[in-house]
Amino acid sequence: MKRHGHLNRDIARVLATMGHGQTLVIADAGLPVPPGVECIDVALQPGVPGFGAVLASVLDDLWLETAYMAHEGREQPVVRQAVEQIESTGAPVQWLMHDELKSALQDAVAIIRTGECTPYANVILSAGVSF
């Protein structure tokens, strides 16, 4: 059994296979998953696991280039905390309208569905490179 990193084998697999510029989404419980996009559902009950905990775990293991979030959620405390987490990696946050964010979901490698029930607690993470 793994001692460090992701115990969720699907998250570990997706992170290990992502290339530069590919995107991974961390989503609240209500974000629609487009047909054909892999959904890694980690939701157990409302709020569990929360958006921030899943984001922190992924950020520990992903070279992040850019993050995209919905402008409509800027005032949500969960979203503000996520912005701080992302910016602490040195990556910028770019703001999209929620409909633009939903349109970009089709290009994601996968969507990790959390138990978060805060509106607009969604982020598209664009993979960077270590060199």
CA–CA separation, 125 vs 64, rounded Å?
Answer: 7
Residue 20 annotated among the catalytic residues of the structure: yes
Catalogue all structural domains in the chain, each as residue range(s) with its CATH number.
9-127 (3.40.1650.10)
Q: Minimal CA–CA distance to 67: which of 77, 82, 52?
A: 82
Contacts of 3 (CB under 8 A, 6+ apart): none
Per-residue pLDDT of the chain (131 residues; tens, 9 = 90+): 466 678 899 999 999 999 999 999 999 999 999 999 999 999 999 999 999 999 999 999 999 999 999 999 999 999 999 999 999 999 999 999 999 999 999 999 999 999 999 999 999 999 999 88
Structure tokens at 123: 């982020």
The residue from 4, 20, 71, 98 that is catalytic is: 20
